[in-house]
Amino acid sequence: MLLREVEYARPASVQEALRLLGANDGARALAGGQTLINVMKARAASPDVLVDLADIGELRGIELGSDGTLEIGAMTTYSDIIGSAEARARPILGEVCNQIADVQVRNRGTMGGNVCSNDPTNHLPPLLVAIGATMTIVGQNGERSVPAEEFFLGVYMTAVGPGELLTKIFVPPGKGDGFASVPIGKDGTCIVNVAASLDGGAPRLAIGCVDAVPVLLRPDSAEDDAVRAAVRSANLDPPWDVHASADYRRHLAEVLALRAVAQAAGRT
Amino acid sequence: MEAVSRKTITVGVNGEQYEREVDARRLLIHFIRDDLDLTGSHIGCDTGNCGACSVLLDGTLVKSCMMLAVQADGAKIETVEGLASEGELNGLQQAFSDHHALQCGYCTPGMLMSATALLRENSSPSEEEIRKAIQGNICRCTGYVNIVEAIKAAAQ
Amino acid sequence: MTETTVTPERPLVVEEGDVKPGFIGQSVPRKEDKRLVQGEGVFFDDVKRHEMGYVHFVRSPYAHARIKSVDVSKALELDGVYGTLTGDEVAILTDPFFELSTPPGANIKDYALAVGRVRHVGDPVAAVVARTRELARDAAELVEVEYEPLPHVLDGEESLKDEVVLHEDAGSNTVWSGVFDWGDFDAALVDADHVVRIERLHFDRFSSTPLECSGCLVEYNRGTGQWTIHGNHQMPGVGAIWMAPALRVGIDKLRFVSQDIGGGFGNKITLHPQYTACCLLARKLNRPVQWTEWRTDQHTANTHGNERTFLDVTVPVKADGTMLGFSVRAIDDCGAFPRYEPLGCIIWAQVTPGCYRWRNVRVDFTQVCTNKSPVAPNRGYSRMQHLWLTERIVDIVAGELGLDPIEVRKKNYVKHEEFPYETPNGCIYDSGDYARCLDIALDLVGYDSLEEKRREAESRGKLFGIGIGSTLDSGTNNFGQSMILNPELQFSGNNEVATVKLDIFGEIVVTLGTVPQGQGHETTASQVVAEILGCTPDEVNVRAGHDTYWNSTAGFSGTYASQFAVTGLGAVKGATEKLAGEMRQLAAAVFGCSPDDIELVESQARIKGNPEAALPFMALGAILNANNAGLPTDLDVTLNVRHVYRPPFEKPDLERKYGNLTLTYATQIHACALEIDAETGVYEIVDYAAVDDCGNRIHPQIVEGQVHGATAQALGAATHEIFTYDEEGNLLTPNFYDYHVPHALDMPPMKTGFIESTSPFTPLGAKGMGEGGGAGIHAVCAALQNALGRRGEGPIVWRSCNPYESVWDLLQKPEETRKLVSVESR
């Protein structure tokens, strides 16, 4: 419960935030804090400086472009997504956000925080990979765009480098999506989760909790046999932990892949 | 702007303004309980799962162990102490008592704040909506049965 | 059969809906609620003192290691640090806590901090006190401890081999062992038509994890040498018996104070090591010190429930399904220190045959230490593990022999007309009607349409199962059972205290000896007082919480072991009746009549048949306390009455391990219907009923609340709650992320039913009932078994906790568990 000493700043602009992040190697961006504060409570991580992004208005908000693309600010909370009329352009977003943790966490936890922490059991990394989202990263040297499938690099590691910020997530239009998971109990940590999207040609499947990053699969078709074959040929080597063996996770990956695809197929 | 390890913050709690100097590392729940001596909000875990510390921050339900006090600078906070007026229980509090929705009473303040947030948004929630609204509040005494009943009754 | 007088004041079975006069039996508003719903309760962590320091424990990262050195110098250099305490100091300043066991367990040395050796991950090695909570933790990180890791043992059976010995002084990991042999098991084997054998069953480690963790604020009064402990100990009488000799002081030097406690469930019974450390710190540093345990600390190093392995279960069965008893070898794993143990080695014997008429029982019981967190009497303590065994026996035997689990239960249950029923080991089941409770439970879950439901679920691709958990909640211990373990112990019987006074302004003030944690003692005590004194519960002021210095405690005071309705309210009833007698005496002296002419009604003492001749309670209080000139000199009235309720117990027969070990037996019969997704092992409880019979219910709403809560804890324990360790002895479920307790969405729809079989042995015909006997665990295991396979096929549910993967595993490899069971038919 008791954090190590830390310095704190709450800048009002992205530029100011970048300056603060760049000024200290031990600085970290603080979004909703629903992961980071916990990690600091356990003293598993102890940044020297927290750069609170709460006052940066440009990082918040959901806009629906004329082509149907959603532009989501990194500081947009799960509750914002759930309650947003615009976000319903891609219904799976609100549905999955509504499965994350609980009301309190959804009220403060952010899209950007979820993907930047890249806990392998999080919901959004596989979802954003499956639906082909694109991330905008800003640094001192300007802005770049990274597809979700290249964004996640390892446990708690992403393409956002030191001194950089994730500012926006772009989600293309679509509705043929599915999400299936086995959590602990009704709403605990995911043991395995799978997101599927059948929009935009070949199916895209992303499996979470089985590797350091979501495992993207592209079965030949949405038929059961094709999906099953894709999962098997991925030769998943999931981690063992207190909640599940590697075998069980491997098995669930296949079952949940079929279920996520079936749900997606029902919506195309 | 420079980062600081100690800062003077101003928060309104239940309509009262407080100005205090706090360490940046101090959690909001410890600020409320230890520094302001408002001990109604509780701590039941160290991982943000139990919801005993739930408060309303500018009208939004949050867990006060999942943020720093300095993050609340300038905010308006509502805690369990603000629910009753002049010793008169409000409808929700009375319903909790009538329906035996509390035993040890330790989760109750957080539970009441979650129910308050729900009922402000949804005056006639279904049982499923009630359960979803309190999914982040752990109770080890009641099995939630009577808590759900009390919230239903308060909504009517 | 012991001769017993049965004089029920009410019919044995009271139908729901019967209107009862008076306040007893009514769900009056709870007195506790008004403060608690406003956040105005006072829990230990709410208490503050000027210049207090915060305690943080330095804990072992090793399961087993020798402590080579502890260096606190860097911690002491940190600005804001007030001081430290180490194991070396503790070893000088205190004596080891006394042990309840005979050797080898008796020789274990247990101190407030680790001395020389750590024996589980989280074992406290040193303590630091600082100006803020955060600084105390900073300083704790600066304490340098040099360890020499030792081999460790985490498994009970493995520990029996003594290849790694935790306690050198004991020389063995065995704490206690003994054989219990009642009836004639060998003859039963000969008589049997079938003998069912179960190689192994395992009751997993979990705990009720009260939402408020443990802690205290300790003040030391240098002038009087007295400590005041504002804490949440739920059995302070016994806590003081441990602590005072260790601290080398008289017991009156320890004052325990608590107002509100955020749940206990037995997990707050063995806080004496941490409290002793805090006492030493408060004295050493001459300032109040405050210790708050965090969730991770509680899971890692406070208390767990007993883990128990049952081996070689043998059950002789007659052709008609009558079971003649059972034999078993039980290995109980109590973790690194026995503390309240080995009482768990005998407590189970209160319910030796479960709900059944089994006359021949042989139990070979051994308790061992392992390098895991110590255990404590978790809700349903020791009986729950044993009752799970009896219920597994019934369902496995039924499954193997093709018997209906409902019919076989009814055939073997103790019959309604047999109460009071004496078990093979001399316990007296006071009253009950198990078959009727079962019928109600079945009715509530629509058992008649079982096959229809099964077909409907199967049509959706689900496996459907229904299971029963029938248990007893035995309450009001006879502490004499401890002598069966250790004849040297000077404990027997039981007691509880209440003080009731009529104060100067007519206020009725009740002081309890108990330490409530949500059970509503203030409310139920006021009901009893009001009924006897002829006033309303609103007029009765029951002091909140506990304070040793109120002088309303006795040796066994506390809140534990399902007994308040018997011992606590028995004491209240006794004290109030004495007070009522004094009030009548005083009124009679004023009126110049006989006390028999006085009645107490409408908050007045008045002459029967002459309501005009009345003294309000206020007048009585004022006359005696402040206006007493002229009262007869021989009027011996104080209007301040202390009563000790002592249940009628004898010392047990130690040779035969025989005697009445507990006074009352509440019944819980649960029925659970669930559906399994065979592809994933995920299952969901779709219907659930809990039927309770706790004799006369003082406050039906509180009783039902206890049923809900005990059921929720059992369902958690059956599905996800398990303390799992890795090979290094690290707890893998140290918080509510990884240790998933039921959330609101997890709880199934729950139906409740009641009957009331008055206890013939208790002051109010009531029975203790807070623990529930783990009926939910038994019912879920039975329902899983039912869903997974039919006669002689399918896997065996052999563990108490079955997360989804376990169920999936059982489905994948039925032969692996099937081989645990064999049937020999003659």
Q: Is residue B54 helix, strand or coil?
A: strand
Question: What does chain C come to in residues?
Answer: 826
pLDDT of the residue at A268? 83
**Domain residue limits, chain A:** 7-52, 57-171, 177-265
- Cβ neighbors of B126 (< 8 A, separation 6 or more) are none
Let me know if residue C330 belongs to a domain: yes
Tell me the nearest-neighbour CA distance from C132 into chain A, angstroms. Answer: 10
Domain boundary among C242, C259, C292: C292
Tell me the pLDDT tens digit for each residue of C109-118. 999 999 999 9
Q: Which residue of B has its CA nearest to C296?
A: B46
Residues C599 and C570 reside in one and the same domain: yes
What is the spatial order of strands in the sheet that A190-197 belongs to? Answer: A177-183, A190-197, A204-208, A215-217
Among partner residues C134, C260, C519, which is closest to B23 by beta-carbon distance? Answer: C134
**How many residue pairs from chains B and C have C-beta atoms closer than 8 A?**
179
Q: For residue A101, what is the nearest residue in chain C, using CA coordinates?
A: C737
My answer on whether B10 and B77 are in the same domain is yes
CB atoms within 10 A of CB C221: 13
B84 neighbourhood in chain C, CB within 8 Å:
37-38
Task: Give the chain A residue whose CA is nearest to the CA of C730.
Answer: A242
Beta bridge partner(s), residue C776 = none
Angle at B17 between CA B13 and CA B19, to 5 degrees: 110
Residues B41 and B102 in one domain: no
| Partner-chain residue, chosen from A5, A188, A255, that has the shortest CB–CB distance to C740 | A188
Q: Which residue of B lies nearest to C750 if distances are taken between CA atoms?
A: B145
Residues on chain B bordering chain A, Cβ-to-Cβ distance under 8 angstroms: 1-5, 7, 23-25, 27, 30, 43, 46-48, 51, 54, 60-63, 65-68, 70-71, 73, 114, 117, 132-133, 135-137
Residue C10 pLDDT level (bands cut at 50, 70, 90): very low
- The verdict on C400 and C502 lying in the same domain is no
Who among A102, A182, A243 is closest to C682 (CB)?
A182
For C209, nearest residue in chain B (alpha carbons)? B140
- Report how far residue A28's alpha carbon sits from residue A21's, in angstroms, rounded to the nearest whole number: 7
Question: Of C494, C524, C323, which Cα lies nearest the Cα of C424?
Answer: C323
**Could you tell me which residues of chain C have a Cβ less than 8 Å from any Cβ in chain A?**
133-134, 136-138, 141, 294, 296, 679-682, 719-720, 724, 726, 732-733, 737-738, 740, 742-743, 745-746, 803-805, 808-809
Nearest by CB to residue B67, choosing from A11, A37, A42, is A37
B118 and B53 share a domain? no
The confidence score (pLDDT) of residue C789 equals: 83
State the smallest CA–CA distance between residue B21 and chain C in angstroms.
14
Supply the range of the domain harboring residue B28.
6-82
CATH class of segment(s) A7-52: alpha beta
Residue B127, chain C, CB below 8 Å: the answer is: no
- On the question of a cis peptide bond just before residue C420, with omega within 30 degrees of 0, the verdict is yes
Domain boundary among B82, B116, B134: B82
Q: Where are the beta strands (DSSP E) in C247-395?
A: 254-258, 289-292, 307-317, 325-333, 360-368
Whether B71 sits inside 8 A of A16 (CB atoms) is: no
The domain in which residue C118 lies consists of 44-150+214-292
Q: Is C738 close to A189, i.e. CB distance below 8 A?
A: yes
d(CA A94, CA A124): 11
Say if CB C471 and CB C773 are below 8 A apart. yes
Do C432 and C572 reside in the same domain of the chain?
no
Cα distance from C191 to chain B (closest Cα, Å)? 45
Q: Between C36, C211, C744, which is nearest B44 by CB?
A: C211
For chain B, 156 residues long, the average pLDDT of each consecutive 10-residue run is 95 98 98 98 98 98 98 98 95 98 98 98 97 98 98 96
Read off the CATH number of the domain in which B33 is found: 3.10.20.30
Last residue of a domain, one of C230, C257, C292: C292
CATH number at residue B120: 1.10.150.120
CATH assignment at residue C519: 3.30.365.10
Cβ-nearest to A242 among C136, C732, C808: C732
Torsion of CA B50, C721, C773, C215, to 10 degrees: -50
Residues B69 and B119 in one domain: no
CATH code where residue C262 lies:
3.90.1170.50
Is B111 found in the same domain as B53?
Answer: no
Q: Is B35 on the interface with C (CB under 8 A)?
A: no
**Count of the separate structural domains present in chain B:** 2
Asked if C586 and C711 sit in the same domain, the reply is no
Q: How far apart are CA C559 and CA C150, in angstroms?
A: 39
- Determine, for residues B46 and A42 on separate chains, whether the beta-carbon distance falls below 8 Å: yes
pLDDT < 70 regions, chain A: none
Question: Is the pLDDT score of C9 beyond 90?
Answer: no
Give the number of beta-carbon pairs within 8 Å between A and B.
107
Q: Are residues B98 and B122 in the same domain?
A: yes
- Interval C669-688 mean pLDDT: 97
Helix residue ranges, H only, C99-224: 133-142, 156-159, 185-191
Distance CA C600, CA C672 (A): 49
pLDDT of residue C7: 35
The closest alpha carbon to C777, from C799, C805, C746, C807, belongs to: C799
Q: What is the CATH topology of the domain spanning A57-171?
A: 3.30.465
- For residue C134, which residues of chain B lie inside 8 Å, CB to CB? 23, 25-26
Q: What's the pLDDT at A201?
A: 76
Which of C645, C679, C698 is the endpoint of a domain? Answer: C645
Neighboring chain C residues of A5 at a CB cutoff of 8 Å: 134, 138
Q: Is B100 in the C-facing interface, judged by CB distances under 8 Å?
A: yes
For A16, counting Cβ atoms within 10 Å of its Cβ (0-12 exposed, 13-18 middle, 19+ buried), the class is middle
Which residues of C fall within a CB distance of 8 Å from B22?
none
| B43 and B73 both lie in a single domain | yes
> How close B147 gets to chain A, by Cα (Å)?
17
Q: What's the DSSP call for residue C203?
A: E
The residue ranges of DSSP E strands in chain B, in sequence order, are 6-13, 16-23, 54-57, 60-63, 76-78
> Min CA distance, B1 vs chain C (Å)?
26
Query: Does any domain span residue C1?
Result: no
**Domain stops at, among B82, B113, B128:** B82
Tokens found for residue C731:
């707890």
Residue whose entry in the numeric block shows the structure tokens 């409770």: C437
> Among A1, A7, A38, whose Cβ lies nearest the Cβ of B4?
A7
Please indicate, yes or no, whether residues C440 and C474 belong to a single structural domain of this protein: yes
DSSP-derived letter for residue B100 is: T
Considering only CA atoms, which of C493, C543, C491, C492 is closest in space to residue C515? C543
Beta-carbon count within 10 A of C107 CB: 16
Examine residue C144 and state whether it is found in any structural domain, yes or no: yes
Where residue C196 falls among pLDDT bands split at 50, 70, 90? very high
For residue C1, the model assigns a pLDDT of: 29
Q: Which chains touch A (3 or more CB pairs under 8 A)?
A: B, C
Q: What is the pLDDT of residues C756-796, one digit of tens each?
A: 999 999 999 999 999 988 999 999 999 999 999 876 688 99
- Give the pLDDT mean for C423-434: 98
The mean per-residue pLDDT over the stretch C643-668 comes to 97
Q: Is residue C279 domain-shared with residue C310, that is, in the same domain? A: no
Residue-wise pLDDT for C472-517, tens only, equals 999 999 999 999 999 999 999 999 999 999 999 999 999 999 999 9
Mean pLDDT of C133-143: 98
Closest approach of C714 to chain B, Cα-based (Å)? 10
Is the predicted ipTM greater than 0.90, yes or no? yes
Across C449-472, b (16+ Cβ under 10 Å) vs e yields ebeebbeebeeeebbbbbbbbbbb
The CATH class that applies to domain A177-265 reads alpha beta
- pLDDT of the residue at C791: 64
State which residue of chain A sits closest to C683, comparing Cα positions: A185
- Tell me: do B113 and B63 sit in the same domain: no
What is residue C21's predicted lDDT score, i.e. its pLDDT? 61
Chain C residue with CA closest to A184: the answer is C740
**Amino acid A202: pLDDT:** 85
Alpha-carbon span C631 to A142, nearest angstrom: 97
One domain, residues B70 and B103: no
- Indicate if C690 and C632 belong to the same structural domain: no
Q: pLDDT digits over C15-29, tens only? A: 444 445 689 999 999
Report, as an integer, the average pLDDT of C642-668: 97
| Residue B17 and residue B75 in one domain | yes
Q: Is there a contact between A215 and A207 (Cβ–Cβ < 8 Å)? A: yes
Say whether both C722 and C756 belong to one domain: yes
Q: Give C288→chain A minimum CA distance, Å.
A: 21
Q: Distance between CA atoms of C24 and C526, rounded to whole angstroms? A: 9
User: Number of structural domains, chain C?
Assistant: 3
Residues in chain A closer than 8 A to B63 (CB atoms): 104-105, 108
* Cα–Cα distance for residue pair A113/A108, rounded to 1 Å: 10
- β-strand A49-52 against A7-9: which pairing, if any? parallel
CA distance C26 to chain B (A): 13
**In contact, C569 and C524? CB cutoff 8 Å:** yes
Q: Is A27 on the interface with B (CB under 8 A)?
A: yes
Between C210, C261, C701, which is nearest B140 by CB?
Answer: C210
Please compute, for residue A77, the number of CA atoms within 13 A of its CA located in the half-sphere on the CB side: 20
The 10 Å Cβ neighbour count of residue B85 is 8
Any domain includes C32: no
